[in-house]
Structure 1
Amino acid sequence: MLKNYLKIALRNLWKHKLFSGINIFGLGAAIGASLLLMLTALQQFSFDRFHQNGDHIYRAYLESYRSRGLERAANMPTPLQPILEEEIAGLEHAIRWRGGRAVVEYEGERYQTGIRYTDPAFFQLFSFQLLEGGPVRVLASPNS
């Protein structure tokens, strides 16, 4: 019986080549788009879940209306952090994290390297392992 169904299906595919091709292409495109959407969602929900407080970590976005339309970015003005901590009930920490490039001099040689700077509360929220030192001491003073 299954052999009969396959024979009829192949006969119809062969008889209506254009419509069959369009349908098969559409099915493949839909499956591909669904997989891509699912993988994107899985990646977005996987951020910061390996931290001890992973279920309490959120990323804030700033929406602004420009001439090109609505723009959404995770970049916030630096003075906004203390205001967020004061104004939003239930917010324990708001962490500023910035990156850039700088010239660093070590033992008489200069290196251009990427740098990152953040607030002292960074290690209260994130549970990264340090290669050296402790989380309390590492961001205790400016330029440390």
Structure 2
Amino acid sequence: MLFWGSKSTSALAIVFISFVLMSYTAPSHAQYRANGDDLALLFCSYVQANDSTGFRNALRDLRLRLRDIYPRVRCNGSSMIQFSASSNAYDIGRFIAHSVLIDDLYSSGDIAWVKNQEPTHPIAEVVRARSQAARSDR
């Protein structure tokens, strides 16, 4: 006869709890890999919220580099830099402008977009500086 507190009951309880814990699948950032739209939504929400810490943590958790995702992620039809400017998220916009490849700034239309911005626009200043530095290197 089994009584609570006996060794066999404790062992059975441990096995049961272990089985329950192993069968539970916690949601993680890895689930975003299944759907590119979800991944884009994740990063666009960080951009809109001007949350550079969350943005960097998501990149690290997913083992991605900004340079790898920037050309493919569009936020409301705009590049992440243009979307950050329209969301008044200047800190993350400057971070992104510093981090992406200059070729991606050209291919995404960010260089052309800068031409229509004020000279003192915080994000446009960074993009202009990157563009000028690239031209002087060539």
Q: Which structure shows the higher helix fraction?
A: 2
The TM-score with structure 1 as length reference comes to 0.32
Return the index of the structure with the highest Cα Rg: 1
TM-score by length of 2: 0.33
Q: Which has the higher strand share?
A: 1
